[in-house]
């Protein structure tokens, strides 16, 4: 598949890899006014080292990416079923966090919203000036986020975009109103992920379910013939949205990547993992009740990810929501 030519004024990938996030196992940090990742009251001098420049809401030309809390106390989620792509990554203590990407539909609300991670910057470089909605980040990471080619939107960035719900205790109750950040959904053309959609590849093996395990979390995808979808479960419980809808994916990608230790830790001493999404490796693609062994490649951060068979044939995904779960390569 031909690579997209892009012109950007942005920091280099090496610069983006220079800082790391320190956040706790159980909570996400906010900038300015709320509980931080370590559960203590927010201290502006500790949350960021320099003031963030004022930014306006997105024009609607690129995707909206939202960091979503995935602790047990944060479930059920709101608006997750409307995402075009859901990325799952490992965070401190072996737990998981989600990034939901919206292009074709903007739900009324999304959440709970939580803090960003260093790996997000590399992952988001595949999009043109995406809007990143998150609750905040550790002090050493915020300057890097502010310099990245992103439209940064935190709770103190845009009046009225965020609110605290009453359904869960803080910090698991911060929600986003996407319509306050973007006038409309940008459309499918903004999904510059490199994913291809169409007829299923030949071969593969029939598969009823697939489980991906992190040290302290797990995802299970179970094929539903009647729904023609992979039903999502997390930590042994069926995943439903706050309005009772079962979360289901048309395609699931288990992408085997390098998950390395960073130089940073949270206040409990847990290392902040870094998930490398540029490079190449193996993956499992699940669609139509079958599993396919494929190769993945992302040559540079501004590229999408290509998935191919062993003979180099591009692998098509099924139309609908895609889940990408990053698993540690053996």
Write phi, then psi, for 264 (nearest 5 degrees): -120, 155
| The predicted structure's pLDDT at residue 295 | 98
| The predicted structure's pLDDT at residue 158 | 83
Q: What is the CATH number of domain 13-48+59-328?
A: 3.50.90.10
Domain boundaries, the chain: 13-48+59-328
pLDDT level of residue 14 (50, 70, 90 thresholds): very low
Rounded CA separation 131/152 (Å): 6
Rounded CA separation 90/107 (Å): 26
- 197-217 average pLDDT score: 96
Which region, left, alpha or beta, applies to residue 91 given φ > 0 means left and ψ of -120 to 50 means alpha?
A: beta
Report the SS3 class of residue 145: helix
Rounded CA separation 278/154 (Å): 26
Ranges 12-26, 173-187, 294-308: which has the least confidence:
12-26
Nearest to 268 by CA among 27, 30, 17: 27
The pTM of the full predicted model, rounded to 2 decimals, is 0.83
Share of the chain above pLDDT 90, in %: 73
Rounded CA separation 269/89 (Å): 19
Rounded CA separation 91/97 (Å): 7
Q: Which long-range contacts (CB under 8 A, 24 or more apart) does 245-248 make?
A: 245/81, 247/77, 247/80, 247/81, 248/81, 248/224, 248/321
Q: Which pLDDT tens digit goes with each residue over 233-274?
A: 999 999 999 999 999 999 999 999 999 987 666 667 777 899
The answer to whether 284 touches 210, Cβ cutoff 8 Å, is yes
Name residue 110's beta-bridge partners: 176
User: Cα–Cα distances in Å, from 283 out to 163, 217, 251, 293, 296?
Assistant: 38, 20, 13, 6, 7
Report the SS3 class of residue 170: coil
- 216-229 average pLDDT score: 97
User: Cα–Cα distances in Å, from 166 out to 73, 169, 324?
Assistant: 13, 7, 30
Judge whether residue 212 has pLDDT over 70: yes
Rounded CA separation 91/259 (Å): 10
Rounded CA separation 291/277 (Å): 21
């Amino acid at each position: 598949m031909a690579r997209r030519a892009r012109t950007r004024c942005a920091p280099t990938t090496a610069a983006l890899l220079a800082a790391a996030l320190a956040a706790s196992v159980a909570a996400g940090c906010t900038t300015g006014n709320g509980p931080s990742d370590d559960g203590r009251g927010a201290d502006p001098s500790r949350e960021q080292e320099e003031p963030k420049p004022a930014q306006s809401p997105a024009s609607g030309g690129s995707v909206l990416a939202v960091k979503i809390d995935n602790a047990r106390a944060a479930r059920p989620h709101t608006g997750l079923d409307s995402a075009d792509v859901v990325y799952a990554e490992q965070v401190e203590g072996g737990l998981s966090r989600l990034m939901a990407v919206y292009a074709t539909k903007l739900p009324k609300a999304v959440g709970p919203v939580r803090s960003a991670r260093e790996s997000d910057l590399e992952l988001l470089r595949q999009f043109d000036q995406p809007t990143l909605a998150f609750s905040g980040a550790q002090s050493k990471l915020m300057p890097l986020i502010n310099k990245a080619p992103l439209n940064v939107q935190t709770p103190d960035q845009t009046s009225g975009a965020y609110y605290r719900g009453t359904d869960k205790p803080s910090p698991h109750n911060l929600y986003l109103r996407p319509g306050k950040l973007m006038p409309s959904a940008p459309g499918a053309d903004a999904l510059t992920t490199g994913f291809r959609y169409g007829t299923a590849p030949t071969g593969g093996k029939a598969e009823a379910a697939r489980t991906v395990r992190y040290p302290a979390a797990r995802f299970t995808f179970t094929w539903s013939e009647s729904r023609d979808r992979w039903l999502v479960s997390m930590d042994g419980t069926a995943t439903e949205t706050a309005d009772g809808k079962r979360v289901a994916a048309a395609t699931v990608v288990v992408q085997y990547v390098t998950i390395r230790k960073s130089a940073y830790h949270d206040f409990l001493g847990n290392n902040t993992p870094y998930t490398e999404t540029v490079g190449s490796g193996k993956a499992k693609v699940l669609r139509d009740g079958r599993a396919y062994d494929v190769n993945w490649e992302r040559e540079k951060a501004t590229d999408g990810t290509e998935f191919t068979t062993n003979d180099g044939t591009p692998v098509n995904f099924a139309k609908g929501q895609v889940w990408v779960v990053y698993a540690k390569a053996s």
